[in-house]
Amino acid sequence: MTAVQNPPVKPVRGRGPSVVTRLLESRRLGWGGLALGLLAPFVTATPYALNVMTSAAVFVMLTVGLNIVVGYCGLLDLGFAAFLAVGAYTGGVLATRLELPLLATVPAVVVATVVAGVVIGGPTLRLRSDYLAIVTLGFGEIIRIVANNLDVTGGPSGIYGIPGLLGDRLSDPVVFYYTTVVIVSVAVLFAARLGRSRIGRAWRFVREDEDAAEASGINTYRVKLAAYVAGAVWGGLSGVLFAAQLSAISPASFTFLQSALVLMAVVLGGMGSTRGVVVGAVVISLLPELLRDLADYRFFVFGVLLIVVMLLRPQGLWPHRSREPDDPATRSTAGADDLPAKEEK
Amino acid sequence: MNRHTVPALLPASRTTSRRVALASVLTAVALSTTGCNGLLGGGSSEDGDKGPIVLGMNIPLSGSSADVGPYMQNGAQLAVDEINAKGGVLGRKLRLQVEDDACDPKTAVAAANKLVAAHAAVSVGGYCSGATLPTLPIFDKQKIPMVIPAANSNQLVAQHLKHVFLINGTGKQQAAAAVAWLRKDGARNVAVMDDNTSYSKDIADLTSAQLGTAGAPAKATEEAVNPGESDYGPSVTAVLKSNPDYIYWTGYYQEGGLLIRQFRQAGYKGKFLVGDGSVDPKLVRIAGSPNGEGVYATMTQTPQTTPGAESWIASYKQKFGAEPGPYATQSYDAVRVAAEAVKAAGSTDGDKVAASLESLKGFKIFSGPLTFTADHTLSNGGFAILTVKNGEFVLQDSLN
Amino acid sequence: MSQLIWNGLFVGSFYALVALGYSMVYGIIKLLNFAHGDLYMLGAFSGYATLGALGGAVPGGSLIALLAVLGLTMLVTGLSGVALERVAYRPLRGAPRLSLLITAVGASFALEYGVRLVAGPNPQVYPVRLDGTGMSVLGARITLQQLALMAVAVGLMVALNALVMRSRQGRAMRAIALDPKACLMMGVDVDAVISRTFFIGSALAGAAGVMSGAYYGKIDFLMGFIIGLKAFTAAVIGGIGNMKGTMLGGLVLGLLESFSTDWFGGEWRDVFAFGFLILFLTVRPTGLLGERVTERV
């Protein structure tokens, strides 16, 4: 974080930034979150709690990946679990067949997800956004069904006995949890930096106004493809962690429901806002576990909660606030609250 | 920029009230969940050798297989209550802790860890093979024996884990029973159909492999359908093109009922054989009254077909106010087997319990006397042939 | 061959009926109503409940009684759709479209598991069956009931098309689809028209639900998910927002599924259907009958 940044311009609001707002906008907050994650096992370290927290961390990485596609670039992807599957299966199959530690498969996983991203994104990114949604949904289903039907992926029961990241050495839950948290933090940090980089600005431009972006000399197709491929790589790498955690994967993990949950985490947290989607991911992955005791009511409550939260905060729990006040993003993400203002003018 | 300052008053107050409402909703949720069980505490921990012996059970209570979970829970609870009424095991009561695995590997792993955290002595759950597989290393590492009542993919035992035991007949045994019956009933050309899930495809593949070999009927075709749909017209047409005189369906009763009906409507005159997942009176009701009659099934013995089990059915009905459903008996037996092993071991130590499971000899369960093979499966799958008479499955042939 | 075509058309007409609701709602407020498939499920269950309440009063399987139940169910699901719009979608008008999508997914969960709480997780069996012996027409096996169901489906679609193209109501709907703000200024009661759109779309889904329950016999609380997905696909193939295109899309998808099952086997069917969809869209991005729409952000 030593690189010189633009001086942080506080978002302009009706009243001055309150203490809470300033705290929420603070740069150090990310480190605070990381510290919280690192300290959590000292509070509770039952196998269950560790497992749930590890799942949450993996889910954070997946969500940050989708955030690049949906949040930064505005491409609606309803089949993101496909990349999780590509990563998990590539890593899992190679690791079990060649008896490698899972970490050694990472280069292959990156290649496979980049190829998958280009194959899926290539023909479809010229489509209108709603069609893109159905096409990605279709690809998600295709990947799952193919995994279900092929022998190399173990058919419907999947593959099992996947070694840990470094063979059996990292299989202790506590060690694995810390490894995961570190890897995920690096991934999150990197994604956030990517969002503020040159290409990140291009992505936001494309999201806000594709025609204007095109007119000012951005090759929108290539920019969108870059976002798609970046998201795919993040998704694939979280697939490797996913496989390492579960040690067995099957097509049942990569259904449409999974894709919907990831998307929900992004939107719930606040599209394009790294902090927001991290919080969204943690909420979405912990909520079903917290509601476990409600048994039959669990998913019913989950559905109702989603509606309620969205009604109360349509722009997400913790929306992205642009640093440049004139950025059109302020307008669109500020959402319903600003509508009367526009009409008065 | 002025745009933002103008509406400050009204929207600001609205935002505040929204924030308050949101906060109160979230707090309410947090309270309601923490109130029960501690935030991530994973349930109450029984201390040492004093409290009840916890039997953990992972079953689907949500998701696509949610309908089977309650049957299994009830079956297991019935056994727990019966054993507790007789004073429990080793002077301690049994307590059943049920967790939802949603038939999803990730949820199942979380649930398994929760059972570990709750100090489960034995796991008596496991329905979907795909969701049960990733839980094996978790229980095995903690030396918690698993008596798996329903999931029966060969991959569960292929790893030869010390603490994993199956008390449902395996796919191999079921396929053998199916082929034996097809031969006996004079089938000539058999179409095998599955629903593309691990359990069903396993049986279908193993059956297909035996068809066409010496003495066995010919294989017409093997076809898979997608579970959860209503219209199987295209698959029906495709299968009928191969002119089968016998159709073996290895999936579950929902699709099975629809398939039987749609085959009959399409003019199919041959016979049906269904796997144990389809043995449910609802199969007949979904198929419609004339269509369901005479359907054969490969099935381990159920209370409905076991002489003298009327009292079991009666006590189940009295307790839960409903007919027992699929895998209720296996779950009931899993609890009894687990309790017996703990009793024989004289402690809840995982290694000792596993050892006493291995040395069980002829323990009576619904599918027959239980002695585990070296693979930790049933020595005798206990598969028999049932048939539908007046809307009920009754014993046709015990295949001995 | 003719059997394959007939199978495809029959399933396709169900898809079309459900897809119409998707397409209408999308056309007017650009919302992918994910809960639409669950209204189909709700229709099946409310029809089941109605038939159960009528008990012995219904002479077994008489088509007239079934039509009455059909009408009642359409009313119930239609009103549910309106309520859904009022509670979950209307407060979010003007919010980012993705948050609407999330409430839709939330509504879908709530509907599915709400029904599960009421009716239980087990599949239910319809008390009334449309059972019939088949007859051979041009080499395909067809039952009278299938013909009747298709006639009802086609009738509903024709009526809908007339409503949208001929009536004042329909004109208002089309106008809102083009420019809601201008309509507001011209004195069109936009909220009321959107409510009506939801009513009609949901009623059609409910009708499809009852018909499927009565024909196939089995209903369960997750039955809406797959058909919702298929209907969505059908609507996109045909050109989402376009009535005739949507109906055509449903039939095309039904035929595609029927033939791909024959060629590749049931387990590869959806791969083929979705693969075709993707290839098709890259060649013709607006669907069969969809017009070129410039996208507004």
CB of C101 closer than 8 Å to CB of A259: no
pLDDT (tens digit per residue) in A98-122: 888 888 899 999 999 999 999 888 8
Residue count (chain A): 345
Q: C-alpha dihedral over C6, C8, C10, C11, to 10 degrees?
A: 160
Q: Who among C98, C229, C271 is closest to A267 (CB)?
A: C98
Query: Using CA of residue B137, residue B141, residue B144, residue B145, what is the dihedral sign?
Result: positive
Q: Is B257 in Cβ contact with C116 (below 8 Å)? A: no
Q: How far is A36 from chain C (nearest CA, A)?
A: 29
**Could you tell me which chain B residue has the CA closest to the CA of C220?**
B228
Residue A43 has pLDDT above 80, yes or no: no
Which site among B5, B67, B106 would you substitute to test the A interface, given the most A Cβ atoms closer than 10 Å to its Cβ? B106
Instruction: Classify residue B26 by burial, with Cβ atoms within 10 Å: 0-12, 13-18, 19+.
Output: middle
Instruction: Show the 3-state SS of chain B.
Output: CHHHHHHHHHHHHHHHHHHHHHHHHHHHHHHHHHHHHCCCCCCCCCCCCCCCEEEEEEECCCCCCCCCHHHHHHHHHHHHHHHHHCCCECCECEEEEEEECCCCHHHHHHHHHHHHHCCCCEECCCCCHHHHHHHHHHHHHCCCCEEECCCCCHHHHHCCCCCEEECCCCHHHHHHHHHHHHHHCCCCEEEEEECCCHHHHHHHHHHHHHCCCCCCCEEEEEEECCCCCCCCHHHHHHHHCCCCCEEEECCCHHHHHHHHHHHHHCCCCCEEEECHHHCCHHHHHHHCHHHHCCCEEEEECCCCCCCCCHHHHHHHHHHHCCCCCCCHHHHHHHHHHHHHHHHHHCCCCHHHHHHHHHCCCCEEECCEEECECCCCCECCCCEEEEEEECCEEEEEECCC
pLDDT (tens digit per residue) in B52-81: 999 999 999 887 778 888 999 999 999 999
**Could you tell me which chain C residue has the CA closest to the CA of A262?**
C102
Residue B369 main-chain phi, psi, to 5 deg: -65, 135
CB of B21 closer than 8 Å to CB of A312: yes
Q: Which residues of chain C have pLDDT under 50?
A: 294-297
Residue A68 has pLDDT above 70, yes or no: yes
For residue A63, the model assigns a pLDDT of 94
Q: Who among A14, A298, A344 is closest to B5 (CB)?
A: A14
From its phi and psi, is residue C55 left (phi > 0), alpha (psi between -120 and 50) or beta? left
C265 touches chain A (CB under 8 A): no
Residues of chain A contacting residue C224, judged by C-beta atoms under 8 Å apart: none
Residues of chain A contacting residue C278, judged by C-beta atoms under 8 Å apart: 123-124, 135, 138-139
Q: Distance between CA B166 and CA B170 in Å, rounded?
A: 8
For residue A7, the model assigns a pLDDT of 45
Instruction: Classify residue B81 by burial, with Cβ atoms within 10 Å: 0-12, 13-18, 19+.
Output: middle
Residues of chain A contacting residue B37, judged by C-beta atoms under 8 Å apart: 293
Instruction: Classify residue C181 by burial, with Cβ atoms within 10 Å: 0-12, 13-18, 19+.
Output: exposed
Which site among C122, C211, C259 would you substitute to test the B interface, given the most B Cβ atoms closer than 10 Å to its Cβ? C122
- What is the DSSP-derived secondary structure letter of residue C167? S
Q: Is B226 in Cβ contact with C262 (below 8 Å)? A: no
For residue A330, the model assigns a pLDDT of 41
For residue C292, the model assigns a pLDDT of 56
Residues of chain C contacting residue B223, judged by C-beta atoms under 8 Å apart: 265-266
Tokens at A131, concatenated:
């069609």
Residue A2 has pLDDT above 80, yes or no: no
Residue A159 has pLDDT above 70, yes or no: yes
pLDDT (tens digit per residue) in C123-167: 888 887 776 666 777 777 788 778 888 888 888 888 888 888 888
C229 touches chain A (CB under 8 A): yes
Q: Who among B232, B286, B325 is closest to C217 (CB)?
A: B286
3-state DSSP call for residue C236?
helix
Q: Which residues of chain B have pLDDT under 70?
A: 1-49, 301, 308, 381, 400
A294 touches chain C (CB under 8 A): no
pLDDT (tens digit per residue) in A187-223: 998 998 888 888 888 888 888 888 888 888 888 888 9
Q: How far is A311 from chain C (nearest CA, A)?
A: 7
Q: C-alpha dihedral over C212, C218, C222, C224, to 10 degrees?
A: 0
For residue A322, the model assigns a pLDDT of 55
CB of A71 closer than 8 Å to CB of A130: no
Residue A21 has pLDDT above 70, yes or no: no
From its phi and psi, is residue A182 left (phi > 0), alpha (psi between -120 and 50) or beta? alpha
Q: Who among C103, C268, C274 is closest to A149 (CB)?
A: C268
Tokens at A141, concatenated:
């289903």
Q: Distance between CA A45 and CA A52 in Å, rounded?
A: 10
Q: Which residues contact C69 (CB under 8 A, 6 or more apart)?
A: C47, C50, C51, C54, C58, C210
B25 touches chain C (CB under 8 A): no
CB of B126 closer than 8 Å to CB of B103: no
Residue B69 identity (one-letter amino acid): G
Q: Is C131 in Cβ contact with B223 (below 8 Å)? A: no
pLDDT (tens digit per residue) in C165-192: 888 888 888 888 888 888 888 888 888 8
C116 touches chain A (CB under 8 A): yes
For residue A321, the model assigns a pLDDT of 67
pLDDT (tens digit per residue) in A226-282: 999 999 999 999 999 999 988 888 888 898 888 888 988 888 888 888 888 898 899
Q: How many inter-chain contacts (A to B, CB under 8 Å) are there?
A: 165
For residue A100, the model assigns a pLDDT of 84
DSSP line for C85-152: IIIIIGGGTTS-HHHHHHHHHHHHHHHHHHHHHHH-SS-EE-SS-----EEEETTEEEEHHHHHHHHH
For residue A332, the model assigns a pLDDT of 43
C216 touches chain B (CB under 8 A): yes
Which site among A13, A21, A44, A46 would you substitute to test the B interface, given the most B Cβ atoms closer than 10 Å to its Cβ? A46
Residue A154 has pLDDT above 70, yes or no: yes
For residue A126, the model assigns a pLDDT of 78
Residue B338 identity (one-letter amino acid): A
Q: Distance between CA C66 and CA C60 in Å, rounded?
A: 10
Q: What rounded mean pLDDT belongs to chain C?
A: 84
Q: Distance between CA A19 and CA A17 in Å, rounded?
A: 7
For residue B31, the model assigns a pLDDT of 40
Is residue A313 very low, low, confident or very high in pLDDT (cuts 50, 70, 90)?
confident
